[in-house]
Amino acid sequence: MGYPHKLHARETPILSKHFGDSEARSVAGWRQRGGYRALEQALSMPREEIVDLIKESGLRGRGGAGFPTGVKWSFMKPGDGKPHYLICNADESEPGTFKDREIMRWTPHAVVEGCAIASYAIGAETCYIYIRGEFTEPLRIMGDAVREAYGEGILGRNAMGSGLRIDMHIHKGAGAYICGEETAMMNSLEGRRGNPRIKPPFPAVAGVFGQPTTINNVETLAVVPLILTNGAEWYKGMSLSNPRSTGTKLFSVCGNIARPGNYEVVMGFPFREFLYDLCGGPPPGRKFKAIIPGGASVPIQTVDEAEGTLMDYEGFIAGGTMLGSGGVIVIDDAQSMVKQIARLTRFFAHESCAQCTQCREGTAWVTRILERMLAGGGTFEDLDTLLDVSENMTGKTICVLSDSCATPVVSGIRKFRHEFETLITGRRSSTVATAGV
Amino acid sequence: MGGLHAESHAPPGSAAHGHGEPYQPVFVGERRAQLEEVFGRYPTKMAALLPALWMVQDAHGWVSEAAMAEVSDVLDLTPAYVKGVVTFYTMYHQHPVGRHFIQVCTTSPCNVCGAEDVVKAFLKQTGCGELGVTSKDGRFTVIEVECLGACGFATPVMINDEFLESVTPDKVPQILAERR
Amino acid sequence: MAEPKQITLTIEGRQATVPEGTSMLEAAKTVGVLIPHYCYHPGLPVAGVCRMCLVEVEKAPKLAPACATAVAEGQVVHVHSEKAREARKGVLEFLLINHPLDCPICDQAGECELQDYTYQEGRNASRLRDAKRFNPVEDFGGDVVYVPNRCILCTRCVRFMDDVAHEPALNVSERGDRALVGKFEGKDLTHPWAGNVVELCPVGALLSKDHLNKARAWELDRAASICPNCTQGCNTIIETRDNVVVRMRPRANPDVNEYFMCDYGRLNYRWLNGPSRLDVPMIAGGGALVEAEWEPALRLAADTIRGRRIVALVSPSLSNEELFLLRRLIDRAGGTGVFRVRTGPEAPLDGVPDLALRADRAANVVGAELLGFSRSERPLDGLSSADVLLVADAAVGEEDAAAIDRVGAIVVLATTLSPALGRATVALPIANVAEAEGTFTNVRGRVQRFLQAKAAPGAARPGYFVISDLLDAIGGGGGFHLPAAVFDSLAAEHAEYRGLSYAALGLRGAMVTGAGQLAGGAEHRR
């Protein structure tokens, strides 16, 4: 539900049903709300059956990439004699996204339960929940939940009396956006700089500590118990658009909008109604100008584009952007697009791990150009340079941070070129200082 | 380069620390036992690095070079390695900060909601004046931080471990008054 | 072990067949295609970060990093396609935006891969209109100085210290464009092999203090050599300017030193330019040594030797050719050959099997032993007054004074004349290792050639040449004018060298027969 706002009639609260209900946080409270039955059920099923069920449900990764979760799990080969690991990616850092934070704050046991089921399904005895260091409250709540689950015998050497070992540890991040990238997260967990790794090898072959590993997002794992309880058909049935995007999705809505918050809707929901009916439209006296619908890394949409979009993986692609993490950033007509694009590239420049040349140098360079433009020192040549440099930053690095930085630049200049031009021509006629050769 | 402190790196326990006080080792007694518990969670000792650095920061308020040397010693790493990791993660302070460390999110979603005015209000009313500078009374340090992951509650502000939501410039005096 | 599966692919229109698992970059080398790269180095783990080696692979959606991509059957790889060249051009531009472009004052100029590739395919003008990042120069300790502004963060140095030296003394600090290579204050780069980071650095970011501002790369002459400073026999390049050795660098040899050499060896070259060289034959006359022509000096030496038992005190850094002819001389006249070795602490390079700065600080200890010279701490104890002491470039000191006083006559072949040998009847000037060619046999029995890098001073001649003349002067067995001829005779006469020829040794060397039985022992890779 649109926490902190009250539930909207057109929402489908599956994950967010208990947001704001602090009694759901304890094991007892969670059990009263049907919790841990799915885990009990799962532990009595063959592993492959769980994997097949998740495959069948059509669940796709909610962290950004949208990879089918059941397929990912099927890459793990329990019984290969190696230790397997599950990592729950709770490093929610994509600007505009704050859904995992609410899931962990209100329904920590949904996460614990989902992690336990996934651990069992992939043959992992150890699960790490990697939570970003800034999430002090979720860290505390999740820590309490894990401790409680151990105390109740849900976790540990004999999880729920199954004779199976499921250990779960909270790992606190320390301030690095890139650690949300799965291979960077594995490095970080190992006590290294959070540098993304070259693939192959893929995590399912050689992941954290060199062992087969699966990494899933909080939202993905939290819905797993519900799919077990209610069945794949139930989950698949929740789709307004097409069978490749199933279930519900939590969208975090922020920026210049009347009712920012987390809204849970069925995949394929019309974006226009979402923005105006559920979220209340623009703030009084303003108009929407641009929407970044899937976190800072996805292409910017104009309002017109957004209004014709269906909210699912394919719908957002058709709308010239991506579902991403589901973090909807709304920018109204009082804002400078150049300034906001510069602010986004500054974010990526700050977060670049520094490994790949294009990213390390490119993110900082485009930021310098954009900030000079904002200060009145831009030229038309700069626009060409920005586009060309962005091209050089795209599709050429180990991870996609570099691409993510180029994305708002390219889509911003393409869709809001007039704002750049006004800024350039509006400047006082003076020669731009030329540094270097 | 590196930290602001040109201190020596004698072994933990003997190194000068912070403002001339002797370095107090972190991993003794109860904390040592805690660290041993942390070791048990991972198949390698190195994996305990981030948790160990958090323990250092909890104990000292920052991660000094002497602390890095101590951590490297306890985890069988080299101090250069530890420093490479410390400088990667922005939450480890490489120099002492004010008693109330104020981080204001200014990334785009908050920026469009007026985060810059929140920063200005904190800078002015704490007396810090500039980002990253500790106020003369040692109470406050204000920095801008990249996305805190609470964009729907613009502007989120972290003060030490406390997470404040929906902060606006007019709330700043009250926030500071509660933190003398 | 099963033969690895062979993979055939096309690179720049050429067909390459390589073992499965080979990287595209290495596969390209086999068909003569160099894929530009910075972070990749065959002696280090793959990092795949500079992104310079991106190549276009037909049917692949994205460019592939050739260093980190294993070959696949039937692949068609384009290195110089429009798309690949544009990508590299982009990388070069990125690497240069914060680079000071200070080639005129940079030691690396002329041997800089950033310079080379930019010249080859970079942009001819910068589009940067903003200020550059700046970081001050830092002394890393040891022989190494770091110029961060020139650094391209390829991390070769960091990986060398981590994965080869096994002493992570360097790191990447900070992130984004603030990142730079760092070390821990108070922890200098003192590892005995740390100097290799200078060699590994593809640009002018890590420089040798020893070599700083000494020479421009294009002024140097280069010769393949063998490090004379211990028995490991690291392959080297001796670089000279105006007949002066100014630098010694490792030369790759997978069987001996891979790509590396230790700091002790690297920096121990000044003696090759020694100022107090014996550069003219000297003969005793009027209670002192006086200059002489070669002919009378050689005749005097022959007359002195003839009829006496020889005790030859030799340097264990003489070449096999010199030692072989000395052996002939000793056998002819009757006598014995001995040597003494200066030793020091051994310093292994942990990441490379059987590579170390060896305790024996001389190049040819094994070669000397194989030719029947015996090692001794007190080599002159058996010397009698009837003997002739033949000192062949061996160090003599205070401890030898009594023996030297006792002996009947002294003949010297030397690069420098020790004051302790003032009583010599004759002293003949010979060339040092940089001034002649020849072979050494290393600690594991690998025979390796070194080439001449500079001219010998004054009238000095190669040692084998002088000894050959001496042999002729006392009755034959000489007649050698080329080291190849000496070596081939050696190979014919000594079982360990049988089957080897000077020409076939090439620049990678060959093992002596029975190398496994050498002192030092058991099964060794090298």
Say whether pLDDT at B54 is over 70: yes
CA distance B10 to chain A (A): 24
Task: Report the pLDDT value the prediction gives residue C4, as an integer from 0 to 100.
Answer: 86
Q: Which residues contact B10 (CB under 8 A, 6 or more apart)?
A: B16, B66
Chain B residues within 8 A of A347 when measuring between CB atoms? 107-108, 146-147
Nearest to A328 by CA among A437, A253, A425: A253
Identify the burial level of C35 via C-beta atoms within 10 angstroms of its C-beta, where 0-12 means exposed, 13-18 middle and 19 or more buried: buried
User: Which backbone phi and psi does C93 adopt, to 5 degrees?
Assistant: -65, -45
- pLDDT tens for C132-183 read 999 999 999 999 999 999 999 999 999 999 999 999 999 999 999 999 999 9
- pLDDT tens for A138-168 read 999 999 999 999 999 999 999 999 999 999 9
Please tell me the distance from the alpha carbon of residue C490 to that of residue C493, in angstroms, as a whole number: 5
Longest alpha-carbon distance in chain C: 88
Please tell me the distance from the alpha carbon of residue A397 to that of residue A319, in angstroms, as a whole number: 26
- pLDDT tens for A96-137 read 999 999 999 999 999 999 999 999 999 999 999 999 999 999
- pLDDT tens for C449-500 read 999 999 999 999 999 999 999 999 998 888 999 999 999 999 999 999 999 9
Identify the burial level of C369 via C-beta atoms within 10 angstroms of its C-beta, where 0-12 means exposed, 13-18 middle and 19 or more buried: middle
User: Which backbone phi and psi does C411 adopt, to 5 degrees?
Assistant: -120, 135
Chains linked to C by 3 or more Cβ pairs within 8 Å: A, B
Which of B1, B6, B9 is closest, CB to CB, to C182?
A: B1
Task: Report the pLDDT value the prediction gives residue B19, as an integer from 0 to 100.
Answer: 55
Cα angle for residues C71, C76, C78 (degrees, 5° grid): 100
Chains linked to A by 3 or more Cβ pairs within 8 Å: B, C
Chain A residues within 8 A of B37 when measuring between CB atoms? none
Name the packing angle between helices C82-97 and C113-121 (round to 10°).
130
Say whether pLDDT at A350 is over 80: yes
Tokens found for residue C84: 């690949």
Q: What's the start-to-end Cα distance of chain C, in Å?
A: 20
The verdict on a CB contact (< 8 Å) between A396 and C54 is yes
Write out B64-131 in H/E/C secondary structure. CHHHHHHHHHHCCCCHHHHHHHHCCCCCCCCCCCCCEEEEEECCHHHHCCCHHHHHHHHHHHHCCCCC
The verdict on a CB contact (< 8 Å) between A372 and C131 is no
CA distance C234 to chain B (A): 29
Assess A433–C contact: CB distance below 8 Å, yes or no. yes
- Torsion sign over Cα A18, A21, A25, A26: negative
- Least CA distance to C68: which residue of chain A? A198
Task: Report the pLDDT value the prediction gives residue B8, as an integer from 0 to 100.
Answer: 36
Q: Give the pLDDT band of residue C1 (cuts 50, 70, 90).
A: low
Which of B89, B145, B151 is closest, CB to CB, to A176?
A: B89
Strand partners, C409: C388
- Torsion sign over Cα A279, A282, A287, A293: negative
- Least CA distance to B155: which residue of chain A? A255
The verdict on a CB contact (< 8 Å) between A172 and B51 is yes
Strand partners, B16: B22
Please tell me the distance from the alpha carbon of residue B53 to that of residue B30, in angstroms, as a whole number: 16
Q: Give the pLDDT band of residue C526 (cuts 50, 70, 90).
A: very low
In this predicted complex, what is the ipTM?
A: 0.94
- pLDDT tens for A276-307 read 999 999 999 999 999 999 999 999 999 999 99
How many other CB atoms sit within 10 Å of the CB of residue C178? Answer: 16
Please tell me the distance from the alpha carbon of residue C352 to that of residue C354, in angstroms, as a whole number: 6
Which of A95, A134, A136 is closest, CB to CB, to B109?
A: A95
CA distance C180 to chain B (A): 10
Tokens found for residue B101: 């460390």
Helices then strands, counting H and E runs in chain C, come out as 13, 26
Assess B11–C contact: CB distance below 8 Å, yes or no. no
- Least CA distance to A194: which residue of chain C? C175
Mean pLDDT of A45-51: 97
Nearest to A436 by CA among C379, B136, C99, B33: C99
- Least CA distance to B7: which residue of chain C? C185
Chain C residues within 8 A of A433 when measuring between CB atoms? 129
Identify the burial level of A165 via C-beta atoms within 10 angstroms of its C-beta, where 0-12 means exposed, 13-18 middle and 19 or more buried: middle
Residue A324's region, left for phi above 0, alpha for psi from -120 to 50, else beta, is left
**Parallel/antiparallel/unpaired status of strands A248-255 and A261-266:** antiparallel
Assess B80–A contact: CB distance below 8 Å, yes or no. no
Q: Give the pLDDT band of residue B117 (cuts 50, 70, 90).
A: very high
Tokens found for residue A277: 């009916």
Mean pLDDT of C108-130: 95
How many other CB atoms sit within 10 Å of the CB of residue B38? Answer: 18
CA distance B42 to chain A (A): 8
Write out chain A in H/E/C secondary structure. CCECCCCCCCCCCCCCCCCCCHHHHCHHHHHHCCCCHHHHHHHCCCHHHHHHHHHHHCCECCCCCCCEHHHHHHCCCCCCCCCCEEEEEECCCCCCCCHHHHHHHHCHHHHHHHHHHHHHHHCCCEEEEEECCCCHHHHHHHHHHHHHHHHCCCCECCHHHCCCCEEEEEEECCCCHHHHCHHHHHHHHCCCCCCCCCCCCCCCCCCHHHCCEEEEEHHHHHHHHHHHHHCHHHHHHCECCCCCCCCEEEEEEEECCCCCEEEEEEECEEHHHHHHHHCCCCCCCCCEEEEEECECCCCCEEHHHHHCCEECHHHHHHCCCCCCCCEEEEEECCCCHHHHHHHHHHHHHHHCCCCCHHHHHHHHHHHHHHHHHHHHHCCHHHHHHHHHHHHHCCCCCCCCHHHHHHHHHHHHHHHHHHHHHHHHHCCCCCCCCCCCC
Contact (Cβ atoms closer than 8 angstroms) between residue A323 and residue A313: yes
Chain C residues within 8 A of A363 when measuring between CB atoms? 176-177
Please tell me the distance from the alpha carbon of residue C257 to that of residue C229, in angstroms, as a whole number: 14
In a 13 Å sphere around the CA of C217, the CA atoms on its Cβ side amount to 15
Q: Which long-range contacts (CB under 8 A, 24 or more apart) does C471-478 make?
A: C471/C325, C471/C328, C471/C329, C471/C332, C473/C298, C473/C299, C473/C301, C473/C302, C474/C302, C474/C305, C474/C306, C474/C329, C474/C332, C474/C333, C475/C332, C477/C328, C477/C329, C477/C332, C478/C325
| Exposure string over A177-192, b if 16+ CB within 10 A, otherwise e | bbbbbbbbbbbbbbbb
Q: Give the pLDDT band of residue C84 (cuts 50, 70, 90).
A: very high
Determine the distance from the C-alpha atom of residue A377 to the mean position of all C-alpha atoms in its chain, rounded to a whole number.
36
- C145, C178, C184, C350: best mutation site toward chain B, by most B Cβ within 10 Å? C184
Mean pLDDT of B34-40: 97
Say whether pLDDT at C310 is over 70: yes
Q: Give the pLDDT band of residue A4 (cuts 50, 70, 90).
A: confident
pTM above 0.80, yes or no: yes
